[in-house]
Amino acid sequence: MKNRPFLQRLRFAVTGIAYALRTESSFRTHALATIAVLVALVCLRPAPVWWALVTLTIVGVLAAELFNTALEQLADRLHPEQHPQIRIAKDCAAAAVLVVSIGAIVVAAALLLDALAR
């Protein structure tokens, strides 16, 4: 899999996103939230720095969801039966998504407060 052409690697990445959209309800929820946030940005027309901050936040949440999905798939494949240490790894990955999502809510609240102050 190493040193493949760029387009082939891009196809692998798009396949991963498509898989997450098909199989992970949390990823779909975050994807829908992304659309809602982008609509809000268009309506609010904030400064470019807000666009950058919100974009980085969205990308962070979606990436965390993809990492969580990858870890869960790998753990389930390598050790299908319940195991306390694998449960902890999966719980920590889910916690990472939660932490990033809380950060996204804080960014959204700050954006709304800034928009209302104008």
Give the span between the Cα atoms of 37 and 115, in whole angstroms.
14
Tell me if residue 65 is catalytic.
Answer: yes
Catalytic residue among 24, 65, 72, 81: 65
Buried b / exposed e along 79-108 (16+ C-beta atoms within 10 A): eeeeeeebeeebeebbeebeebbeebeebb
Q: What is the CA radius of gyration of the chain?
A: 17
* Distance from C-alpha of 66 to C-alpha of 43, rounded to nearest angstrom: 29
User: Catalytic site residues?
Assistant: 65
